[in-house]
Amino acid sequence: MVKAAGRHEAALSAYLHIPFCERKCIYCDFYSIENLSLREEFVCLLLREIDLKLEASPELAGRPLETIFFGGGTPSLLAPAELETIIHKLTEHFRIAPDVEFTLECNPGTVTLEKLRGYKSLGVNRLSFGVQSFNQEELEYLGRIHDAAQAREAVHLARKAGFDNVSIDLIFALPGQSKETLNHTLDEAISLETDHISAYNLIVERGTPLFRLVQLGKVIELDADRAAELFSIVQNRLVRVGLEQYEISNYAKAPKKRAKHNLVYWDGFKDYVSFGPSAHEFLNGVRRWNASSLEEYSKAIRSGKLPIINQELLTTEERRTEVLYLQLRSTGLLLSQFQEIFGEDLLLDSTVRNFIAEDLMIASNDILRLTTKGYRFCDAIVTRLMEPQQFLIPIV
Ligand code: SF4
């Protein structure tokens, strides 16, 4: 039966958090546990959560999923059969858009050709490998479970399994990282000719083992100038080989290889629903998030409740800040939409005009975006735009 068009037909994205890792990396603050024996039980809880969500929000039923993202944790610890039950549950409640982008995050130390073929047969059409570095010392330091050869092999296996949309994640600005080791990692990454590369500046997050090492003075963080220098190396090298920087940390071989799911997050207005411990969702302007610990998550679901622990409805000022930050750090801010919602013509803002004059921003086709140079100063630029506005009086 063809469903009536209307609000229920509005596109939706789905994030599913798989909270297991073989071993925790020292820098990681995503929620995951190392007790893999709870996996089977977790899949049952996740299926129940999906049902509970739809019972609580029946208006979500039938909406087309345009992007599906299995993140974590390590989703590639799921056997294809487990993934199949989860996908089946999603299809009971949602429609899967014909051109869905369906991403699965993979740890190179957990994949085989058979497993990747299994994922492919279930409709997964994008793989994102957490590689982080091709330098053995750095990989060990970070606590990764794989070596550089496994990372290369994982990408080759993905191609062999028929994936034509493969991404790798890298981390730079590691404590003590030299230009040589970064360049070596970039050489290797470029030679794999993946469709997409994410290159993140290491952030020492509170609560991680790395944070404690820094506090104890056992590890010294790279200073900001040095980190900026390494960012420039990453940016220059990836752009030089023809990758398009479409977000501060993300580079794609072609516009159609941009991470559509992440673009939904960076849009700031689009709906996404989420499942799993610690997952955050955004629906109709309200952000909600789940309990992080698997124990708390499980307790709520077993008693027939959604594991949501909090929600927030942003004020107009907070929305403005968020939209500025999210849209500017990626493909650019939609000027007419911004004016319609917040009542400001940003092209009349003297700060914006100065940024454009300094080649930090560019405005064209109703989009205000950062230039290659501007991406290097993204945080500073957005911070300036959050300050009280200095509008020019238009000349009539
Ligand atoms: S494998 Fe990924 S999710 Fe797991 S601890 Fe390492 S970085 Fe975090």
Measured in Å, residue 319 CA sits from the centre of ligand 1 at: 30
For residue 130, the ligand 1 atom closest to its alpha carbon is: 2
**Looking at domain 316-386, does it have CATH number 3.30.70?**
no
Residue nearest to atom 5 of ligand 1 (CA): 24
Check residue 278 and give left, alpha or beta (phi > 0: left; psi -120 to 50: alpha): left
Neighbours of 160 (CB within 10 A): 11
Report residues of the chain scoring pLDDT below 70.
1-8, 388-396
Question: What separation, in Å, do the N-terminal and C-terminal C-alpha atoms of the chain show?
Answer: 56
Concatenating the DSSP letter of every residue in 122-146 gives TT--EEEEEEE-S-HHHHHHHT-SS
Measured in Å, residue 242 CA sits from the centre of ligand 1 at: 29
Q: Element (H or E) spanning 88, and its range?
A: helix 80-93
Concatenating the DSSP letter of every residue in 342-380 gives H---GGGBHHHHHHHHTTSEEEETTEEEE-HHHHTTHHH
For residue 145, the ligand 1 atom closest to its alpha carbon is: 1
Measured in Å, residue 361 CA sits from the centre of ligand 1 at: 34
| Residue entry with tokens 């980190």 | 227
Compute CA distances 353 → 1, 360, 366, 386, whole Å.
53, 10, 15, 15
Chain centroid to Cα 347, Å, comes to: 29
Measured in Å, residue 45 CA sits from the centre of ligand 1 at: 22
pLDDT of 389: 55
Q: Which residues of 91-114 are buried (b: 16+ CB within 10 A; e: fewer)?
A: eebbbbbeebbbbbbbbbbbbeee
pLDDT of 394: 41
Measured in Å, residue 26 CA sits from the centre of ligand 1 at: 9
For residue 132, the ligand 1 atom closest to its alpha carbon is: 7
Residue nearest to atom 8 of ligand 1 (CA): 28
Q: What is the pTM of this model?
A: 0.94
Measured in Å, residue 36 CA sits from the centre of ligand 1 at: 14
Q: Element (H or E) spanning 196, and its range?
A: strand 196-201
Model pLDDT for residues 276-312, shown as the tens digit of each residue: 999 999 999 999 999 999 999 999 999 999 999 999 9
Q: How far apart are alpha carbons 102 and 331 in whole angstroms? A: 21
pLDDT of 351: 94
- Hey, where are the domains in the chain? 7-266, 316-386
pLDDT of 45: 98
The domains spanning 7-266 and 316-386 adopt the same CATH topology: no
Compute CA distances 349 → 61, 344, 378, 382, 389, whole Å.
43, 9, 17, 13, 7
Q: Which overall architecture, per CATH, does domain 7-266 show?
A: Alpha-Beta Barrel (3.20)
And the tokens for 179? Answer: 């230009």
Measured in Å, residue 28 CA sits from the centre of ligand 1 at: 6
Alpha helices in 177-253 (DSSP H): 179-191, 209-215, 224-240
Model pLDDT for residues 209-238, shown as the tens digit of each residue: 999 999 999 999 999 999 999 999 999 999
pLDDT of 395: 39
And the tokens for 327? Answer: 């849209």
pLDDT of 388: 57
For residue 142, the ligand 1 atom closest to its alpha carbon is: 6
pLDDT of 134: 98
Query: Do residues 148 and 108 lie in contact, with contact meaning Cβ atoms separated by under 8 Å?
Result: no
For residue 23, the ligand 1 atom closest to its alpha carbon is: 5
Q: Is 175 helix (H, G, I), strand (E, B) or coil?
A: coil
Cis status of the peptide bond prior to 285, with omega within 30 of 0: no
**Substitution site in 30, 69, 141 for ligand 1 pocket (most atoms within 8 Å of beta carbon):** 30
Residues contacting ligand 1 via CB (< 6 Å): 21, 24-25, 28, 30, 32, 72-74, 107, 130
Give the angle 70-72-77 at the CA atoms, nearest 5°.
Answer: 80
Measured in Å, residue 130 CA sits from the centre of ligand 1 at: 8
Q: How far apart are alpha carbons 377 and 247 in whole angstroms? A: 13
